[in-house]
Amino acid sequence: MSAAEGSAPPAAWHWPLFLVGLLVFCVATQAVLVVVAISDPRQHVEADYYAKGLAWDAQLAEERASARLGWTLTCALKPVAAGARILEVELSDAAGQPIADAVVRCRARHRADLDHSLTSELSATGPGRYAGAFSMRREGVWELALEVQRGEERFSTTRVLDTRDGAL
């Protein structure tokens, strides 16, 4: 028996090596994806998500109460310096009359960094007009949670805006 007769031809090893290589490639790709996913500093887990889930009915009731008031809130962002913006809010009641005697608070969070928020109590600048300064150094999409209190009446709404546009 010669050496050529006893050994498998080289082509017979291509399929097993291909399958092993494919499996190694899949495992390596998954390992890279896991490392990238867990090392992202911008990942976000909603703080106290369980309590928020339990309070869903209360949040829904608050949204319905705000809708029953019929108030209208419009916003605009005005850049004043690098990273500094003024949020201007106009607030009117169901009859279209400006609401002048309210306390307006805003919490702003960048969509890519929900762990950090900016808060401000807006100052009255005229009948139904309020303004507040924010240090929004990051361009992009921001979520604004606005709360308005006038006596016993409470109005809350959320707006999403892109600082590259400036308007809501």
CATH at 94: 2.60.40.1930
Decide if 167 is inside a domain: no
Looking at the structure, tell me whether residues 33 and 54 fall in a common domain.
no
Position 167 scores a pLDDT of 45
Position 48 scores a pLDDT of 80
Looking at the structure, tell me whether residues 23 and 69 fall in a common domain.
no
Decide if 168 is inside a domain: no
Decide if 136 is inside a domain: yes
Looking at the structure, tell me whether residues 15 and 84 fall in a common domain.
no
Looking at the structure, tell me whether residues 65 and 122 fall in a common domain.
yes
Decide if 4 is inside a domain: no
pLDDT per residue of the chain (168 residues) written in tens, 0 to 9: 455 555 666 677 788 889 999 999 999 999 999 998 888 766 666 778 888 888 888 889 999 999 999 999 999 888 888 778 899 999 999 999 999 889 999 999 988 877 778 999 999 999 999 999 998 888 888 899 999 999 999 999 999 988 876 444
Number of Cβ within 10 Å of residue 75's Cβ equals 19
CA separation for the pair 90, 72 (Å, rounded):
8
Q: What is the pTM of this model?
A: 0.69
Looking at the structure, tell me whether residues 17 and 98 fall in a common domain.
no
Position 166 scores a pLDDT of 47
Look up residue 98 and give its DSSP letter. Answer: B
Terminal CA-CA length for the chain: 85
Decide if 101 is inside a domain: yes
Position 149 scores a pLDDT of 94
Looking at the structure, tell me whether residues 83 and 25 fall in a common domain.
no
By the 10 Å C-beta count (0-12 exposed, 13-18 middle, 19+ buried), 142 is classed as buried
Range of the domain at 111: 49-162
Looking at the structure, tell me whether residues 71 and 113 fall in a common domain.
yes
Position 168 scores a pLDDT of 41
Copy the structure tokens of residue 117. Answer: 């928020």
Total tally of structural domains belonging to the chain = 2
Looking at the structure, tell me whether residues 83 and 118 fall in a common domain.
yes
Position 5 scores a pLDDT of 58
